[in-house]
Chains A and B, each alone.
Chain A
Amino acid sequence: MRTLYREFISATLLILGISVLIGFVLANVVYLAFTKNEITQQNVEAAKQIVHVLEEMHVSSHALQPFLESVGRLGYQMYLANGSGDEYFFGEPFEHSRLPARTLDQVLNGTPYMGKDNIWDQFWMMGHFSNDIRNTVGLPLQIGQEPFALFVKPDSKTLFSDIHMMLAGFILAVAVLSLLGVIKMTKRLIYPISELSEATKAIANDDFTYSLEIRRKDELGQLAQNFLQMQQQLKHNDVARKSFISNVSHDFQSPLMNIQGYADLLINPDLPAKERIQYAGIVNDEARRLSNLTKQLLLITSLDQSGYPVRKSLVRLDLQIKESVKKHQWSLQDRNLSISYKMDEAELFSDRELLGIVWDNLITNAIKYNRPNGHIFISCSNNKDKIILTFEDNGIGLSEASAKQVFDRFYRVDATRKKDGTGLGLSIVKEIVTLLNGTITLDSEPGKGTTFTVMFPKKGKD
Chain B
Amino acid sequence: MKSSLKIRSAKSKAFEILIIVFAFLITVPLLAIIYFVLKTGISKISWNFLTNIPKPVGEIGGGIANALLGSILIVAVAAVIAVPFGILCGIYLSENKNSRIARWSRLAVDVLQGTPSIVIGIVIYFWIVKPSGTFSAISGSVALAIMMLPIVIRSTEETLKLIPATLHEAGFALGLPYHKVILRIIVPCGISGILSGVILSVARIAGETAPLLFTAFGNPYISANVLRPMQSLPLLIFNYATSPYDEWHDLAWGASLILLIWVLLLNIGTKLITSKWKIQL
A and B form one complex = no
Interface residues of A (CB under 8 A from B): none
